[in-house]
Structure 1
Amino acid sequence: MSGSRGPDDRHRLRVIPTWRHGQERLYVCHEDGRNVAWYDREAGRVNLLSEGEQDDILHALGPFLTGPVMVGPPPVPTPAELARLTLHPDDDLAPNRPGEALLIALDREAAHAHRLRPDPRRRALTAEQTVGETLDRLDGAGWHALHSIPLPGGDRIHHLMIGPGGLFAVHALYARKQRVLVADPMVTLGRRETQPLLRRVRSDADRASYALTAEVHPILALAGPADLRVTAPPRGVRILQDTDLAALTRLGGVLKPADVEALHAMARDRRTWGRV
């Protein structure tokens, strides 16, 4: 029969691992590069683009399957997923690394900079990276972290967390081995000049609330302080050390999974932040 295939045809399928949005996918394709399926290990699902080749696809994936799987056509995308798929890469903030804006600025100046003293932005970058890496580890608990969100006027929200417990604008502060005194709105770091930092932290959250039309709570995250003293509970602001940020996963009952995904799709769009 002209349409039949020999027993070795299934071996012409190749399995190619890729990473999309921080998650591994195993694509199954023909020698000409045409995709016929992909395996989402985290979801335990094999998505078929060619149902007539199901047996061959499962045979090719056999060494990679880690347990029982669902098999079928790809699920219909949600409105949030459709919004993400239509988002231009230049407008997508999800790939931003912690401290993205500082990394770009420091790399741009490195070639012709001759500083006699350490650049203070290096410490700020360390704080954002320390806090950001901690927040990224909460992703598996149903949370999404966005980093270095640009605002009009050159300001930035260091980190935005979206999850079952709500939305949080997180400002990272380098405080390694230093004493921190918080007397709302003032923050004193070691022997440095006292700054009204909590005003900035609250302002970031207010601007995020306006952009997302949802309540956003402010957090000041201290990276590595030797001691923290708060004279009185600050108005509406959580003061946390970077090692305590995982406690956010214990918060819940505020947003449903569909709301989390919809808000994440909105927040990752650079255009959302253009008028705040």
Structure 2
Amino acid sequence: MSGHRGLRVIPTWRHGQERLYVCRPDGRNIAWYDREAARVNLLSEGEQEEVLQALGPFLTGSVAVGPPPVPTPAELARLSLHPDDDLAPNRPGEALLIALDREPAPAHRLRPDPRRRALTAEQTVGEALDHLDGAGWHALHSVPLPGGDRIHHLVIGPGGLFAVHALYARKQRVRIDDPMVVLGRHDPAPLLRDLRSRADRASYALTAEVRPVLVLTDPAALHVTAPPRGVRVLELAVLGDLTRLGGQLKPADVEALHAMARDRRTWERV
């Protein structure tokens, strides 16, 4: 991060691509540099000289400078979002990565830290969801809810909105008897009830229907006693089937909901 006359340059990454945002001291974005497009997009032409000076150390080769190409309302909302409130840069498993960094498992622990398996599941599912981006879908990861709860992945696209929960099930038998989920030899847990609750909270926050999805990573076997109420259960290999769903949201609606969902403040009162 660097600055010029109070301006800050903040790098962000999404799908391996870097953008550099230029912010005022109050956190408001006034420009961004898209390396791939070799373009500096200005929201305020009167500050072009200051913006280019702040970006000076980062610019490579010749770049185009000018206003952004006809921004949508959703794009403007995103650009005005303070970086600290933007959930879009979250990595899959972001909350677990931070927790493991702050409180690593004791070195003398004999059994693997269960958080590691949970992290593997979130990262595997999250990476698969990120690949849906080219099909008109957006995925947000580790969406925080009040009380310390969170949604592993929130997916928004033509087929609607989905709150996705990743469950590590590698080489284990899974039995689902709504609302209970039994993983291997573990005790039954009312996971489906919890997933419906999180989806309901997300629906309230976004004023749009959010449907819960449970994704199992490589189970040895799956037995479902009866179709769970309102919860879609998928194995990782068929997660891409979500892209075949359509007819629910127009592209402009997808972008508007994504802009709302990526704002951390949207989730503060649910």
**Which TM-score tier does this pair reach, normalised by the shorter chain?**
0.7 to 0.9
For residues 69-94 of structure 1, give each alpha carbon's deviation from its aligned partner in whole angstroms, at most 9, with x where no partner exists: xxx96422111111100101110000
For residues 116 and 23 of structure 1, the distance between their equivalents in structure 2, rounded to whole angstroms, comes to 36
For residues 155 and 73 of structure 1, what CA distance do their matches in structure 2 show?
Answer: 40
Residue correspondence of structure 1 range 217-232 to structure 2 within 5 A: 217-232=211-226
Amino acid at match of 2:218: G
Task: Describe the shift of the 1:187–1:24 C-alpha distance in structure 2 as closer, same or farther (beyond 3 A).
Answer: closer
Distance 1:26 1:82 in 2: 16
Structure 1: gaps (5+ residues): 1-17, 28-34, 51-59, 62-71
Change (3 A) 1:23 1:105: closer
Question: 227, 231, 245: which one pairs with 1:237?
Answer: 231
Letter in 2 for 1:155: D
Structure 2 distance, partners of 1:90, 1:46, is 24
Give the C-alpha shift of residue 106 in structure 1: 0.4
Match of 1:163 in 2: 157
- CA gap of 1:117–1:39, structure 2 versus 1, over 3 A, is closer
CA contact (8 A) 2:13 2:89 kept: no
The yes-or-no answer on 1:140 pairing with 2:134 is yes
CA shift at 1:110, angstroms? 2.7
Separation (CA, whole Å) in 1 of partners of 2:213 and 2:174: 15
C-alpha distance after superposition, 1:108-166 (max 9, x if no partner): 12397542321111111111111111101101100000000111000010000000000
Equivalence for 1:186: 180
Runs of 4+ in 1 over 3 A off after TM superposition: 18-27, 37-41, 45-50, 111-114
Distance 1:91 1:25, change over 3 A: closer
**How many residue pairs were aligned?**
230
Structure 2 distance, partners of 1:240, 1:270, is 28
TM-score, scaled relative to structure 2: 0.77
- 1:21 corresponds, among 14, 18, 32, to 14
- Contiguous gaps of at least 5 residues in structure 2: 1-10, 21-30, 46-60
Report the secondary structure of 1:158's partner residue. Answer: strand
- Once residues 158 and 26 of structure 1 are traced to their aligned partners in structure 2, the CA distance between those partners, rounded to angstroms, is 25
1:262, CA displacement in angstroms?
0.3
Whole-angstrom CA distance in 1 between matches of 2:102 and 2:41: 45
Distance 1:268 1:113 in 2: 37
Distance 1:213-1:38 versus aligned 2 partners, 3 A rule = closer
Q: Tell me the equivalent position of 1:268.
A: 262
Within-5 A mapping of 1:109-120: 109-110=103-104, 114-120=108-114
Instruction: Please show how residues 85-104 of structure 1 align to structure 2 within 5 Å.
Output: 85-104=79-98
Match of 2:195 in 1: 201
Give % identity: 75
Taking a change above 3 Å as real, the CA distance of residues 253 and 95 of structure 1, as seen in their structure-2 partners, is same
Alignment equivalent of 1:174, drawn from 168, 171, 176: 168
Separation of aligned partners in 2, 1:187 and 1:25: 40
Opposite residue 144 of structure 1, the aligned amino acid is H
Q: Distance in 1 between matches of 2:149 and 2:199?
A: 12
Question: Which structure's CA Rg is the greater one?
Answer: 1
Residue 69 of structure 1: aligned partner: none
Q: Cα 1:114–1:106, aligned 2, differ >3 Å: closer, same or farther?
A: farther
Of 118, 123, 129 in structure 2, the residue corresponding to residue 124 of structure 1 is: 118
Secondary structure class of the residue paired with 2:174: strand
Does the Cα contact within 8 Å between 2:15 and 2:130 map onto a contact in 1? no
2:77 maps to what in 1?
Answer: 83
